[in-house]
A and B are shown apart, each in its own frame.
Chain A
Amino acid sequence: METVTDDDHREFLQRDRGVHPPAFTPDYKTSVLRSPRRALLSLQNSLSEVTGPTFGHSEIGELDNDLIRNYAHDGQPIGERCIVHGRVRDENGRGIPQTLVEFWQANAGGRYRHRNDHYLAPIDPNFGGCGRTLTDAQGNYVFRTIKPGPYPWRNFLNSWRPAHIHFSVFGSGFAQRLITQMYFEGDPLIWRDPMVLGIPDRAAAERLIAPLDMNAAIPLDMLAYRFDITLRGRQSTVFENKLQGN
């Protein structure tokens, strides 16, 4: 909260819809009936959009960013141990400090701990599959986990999701709110996936693929992947687009 500056009064840059999947992506079948048919109404920012919820360390538990330990009951989860880390920044390259990053995923066999997931791969009794953390003063985050497995889903008859971790990020204003998915370098399922292919710009889709980061690996312990997240930036001039005194 104390990290908010005058910059946080500025309006956000218009979202470039070309980097996002459109609402209607028929190869991802569920989008057909869940996509608006009418155009979005563009709004200039007001306080309702440039402000958003803030979170404090008191809300985050000590193990919340350690999926290897935060649901371990009588042992460790089975699977490839890895670190996932990166920086949350805005389009102007500024790190976004003390923002909430949440993540969730399947276990090593592609099974989610969710009452609606009935895939025959078993639950891992020592793996929950979710965590959260606050970014540091520079916008960096880190967590430990097990690399998730791919899993089948009812889209086409033989549809398989690539290994992925879901991310939810806040930023400092509600208009920055973003949910996305991180994929793993080299996975051959990525370019068969209708969610990835729904992104019209191939270069934008590639930004969802986390490279192996050997420099952050811990020898004899775990590998590491790096996933940087970019949220919308604020407009840079101070004349017309800074909300003040209104």
Chain B
Amino acid sequence: MVQPLPETFRETPSQTAGPYVHIGLIPQQAGFDIFETNFSNVVAGPDATGEPIRVEGRVFDGAGEPVRDVLIEVWQANAAGRYAHPADRQPGKEADPHFRGWGRTGSDFETGLWFFDTVKPGIVSGRHGRPMAPHLNLWIVARGINTGLQTRLYFSDEEAANAADPVLNLIEQKSRRQTLIARRETRDGRGVYVLDIHLQGEAETVFFDV
């Protein structure tokens, strides 16, 4: 016999969020008002530093139909490339008191469109100090998705940074890297980035086991 290792526990199994996830996480979308403070898809308000942008898209299933009951959360750094979390101690990058870095949204029940209003994130230092191109971390749950899917959204106008990004470069098939890059448009003078997410099939988005 050997000494036993300290007791450990195993992670609680995931289960699907189901079709009525909005009741708990976005009750107003479910059709009623119950909380004084509601979480929203506004990741950065008007006082946040940085370039205001909208990111939007749709999530498609394996038959090419939009998923109309998906819930997406975003987690991102501020314009300086710093996360609003005490574990981020990157030198020289200021916290922004007007920036939380997190938001959630549900896709529209008719069109399947989702969007976030935020600011474009800065470069975050990755492993071994290698800079990561500006990106949003996305977490996707829905009816039919047993465990939340993690992916990233990168920006089409950051070509040089994307080409050097240590995570994008881990994707063996170069064509698949494109599934994470949102296309920039300009509407009413504001930058809008569009990224469609494909759960399954030819254009399947890269999902991560983080």
Contact = CB atoms under 8 A, between A and B. Distances in A.
Interface in B90-146: 90-91, 100-102, 109, 124-129, 132, 135, 137, 139, 141-146
B8 A1 contact: no
Interface string A43-68: 11111111111100011110010000
Contact of A246 (B67, B126, B143): B126
A116 to B, nearest CB: 6
Interface string B189-204: 0000000000111001
B23 A130 contact: yes
Contacts of B31: 113-115
Interface string A126-150: 0011111000000000000000000
Given A16-B10, A20-B147, A114-B20, A33 B62 contact: yes
Contacts of A104: 20-21, 23-25
A103 interface: yes
The B interface is mostly helix, strand or loop, or mixed, namely loop
A25 B34 CA distance: 34
A21 B124 contact: no
Contacts of B6: 92-93
A71 interface: yes
A230 interface: yes
Interface in B2-18: 6-18
Interface residues of B, number: 83
Contacts of A192: none
Interface residues of A, number: 93
B140 to A, nearest CB: 10
B47 interface: no
Contacts of B22: 114
Nearest to A179: B17
B147 A21 contact: yes
Closest 10 CB pairs of A and B: A104-B24, A30-B144, A53-B102, A34-B144, A51-B85, A40-B209, A33-B62, A21-B146, A115-B31, A4-B86
Interface of A: 1, 4, 8-9, 12, 15-17, 19-23, 25, 28, 30-38, 40-54, 58-61, 64, 70-71, 89-93, 102-104, 112-117, 128-132, 166, 168, 172-175, 177-181, 195-196, 198-199, 204-205, 207-208, 229-233, 243-246
10 contacts: A16-B11, A20-B13, A34-B61, A35-B144, A37-B201, A43-B209, A48-B75, A51-B87, A61-B37, A117-B20
